[in-house]
Amino acid sequence: MKREIALGKEFYTVAAHRHGDTYTTTIGENDALSARLEHVEGIDYNVVINGAATPVKLVAHGEQMFIHAFGRNFELNVIDPVDRAAEQSGSTSVFKAPMPGIMVEINVEPGQQVTAGEPLISIESMKIMMVIKAWRDGEVEAVNFAEGEAFDKNAVLVSMVEEECEEGEQN
């Protein structure tokens, strides 16, 4: 299996191939290591790398892992390759109507800064009320219908100002 792992701000590609209870582990372009995790009474685990054992404590929460080893604390995140690729390709700026309906309520104004999850507008279609929430942080560009106005399927209801995709280039 191949995983992308974030350790602090650094990303690593880790490949691990299992042989019994031992994994042949390759980190980036480095040489392969032989690694094994042993459960040890009292101290949680021993990680055995190329035969040398080091005691570690670890707590996992979803894809996040907190590790104490070598006298330090590490926070490690397993990154899903699909998520990471999607993140790098930016995200959409408009919300289109999934079905014809009526604009019921507008909660924001053009130019307003919003955070992800904040309600932008409410619409009603086929007897169902739907609250459209900000799908990312950003600035509202426009709401294209007035309260009470009807719209067709696929009409752009609300748009956010395009994100600049130059992450990391400013340093």
Partner 1 sequence: MRRIKSSIDTGSTEFLANQAANRQLLAEFRQRQDDARHKRPERDIERLRKQKKLIPRERIDLLVDPGTPFMELSSLRACEDYDGKVPGAGVITGIGIVNGREVIIHASDSTVKAGAWYPKGIGKSVRVQEIAIENHLPVIHLVDSAGAFLPMQSEIFPGHKMGGHLFYQQCKLSAAGIPQVAVVLGHCTAGGAYVPTLCDYSIMVRGTGGVFLGGPPLVKAATGEDVSAEELGGADVQCGISGTADYAVDSEQEGLALARELVGTFKRIAKADVDKREPEAPFYDPEELLGVIPKDTNTQFDMREVIARIVDGSRFHEYKPDYGTTAICGYAFIHGYKVGIIGNNGVLFSDSAQKSTNFMGLCNRDRVPVVFLQNITGFMIGKEYEHEGITKHGAKMVMMQSNLDVPKFTVIVNGSYGAGNYAMCGRAYEPRFLFMWPQSKISVMGIEQAAKTLAQIKIASLKKQGKELSDGEAQAIRDDIAHDYEHKSSAYYSTSEGWDDGIISPADTRNVLGMAISASLNKDFKETSNGMMRI
* Interacting residues toward partner 1 by CB under 8 A: 62-63, 80, 82-83, 98-100, 116-117, 125-131, 133, 153
Least Å from the CB of residue 80 to partner 1: 5
CB 152 within 8 A of CB 98: no
Instruction: Between 19 and 127, name the residue whose CB sits nearer to partner 1.
Output: 127
Query: 145: left (phi > 0), else alpha (psi -120 to 50), else beta?
Result: beta
Instruction: Between 98 and 111, name the residue whose CB sits nearer to partner 1.
Output: 98
Least Å from the CB of residue 62 to partner 1: 5
CB 135 within 8 A of CB 121: no
Amino acid at 33: L
How far is CA 75 from its chain centroid?
16
Instruction: Between 1 and 128, name the residue whose CB sits nearer to partner 1.
Output: 128
Least Å from the CB of residue 133 to partner 1: 7
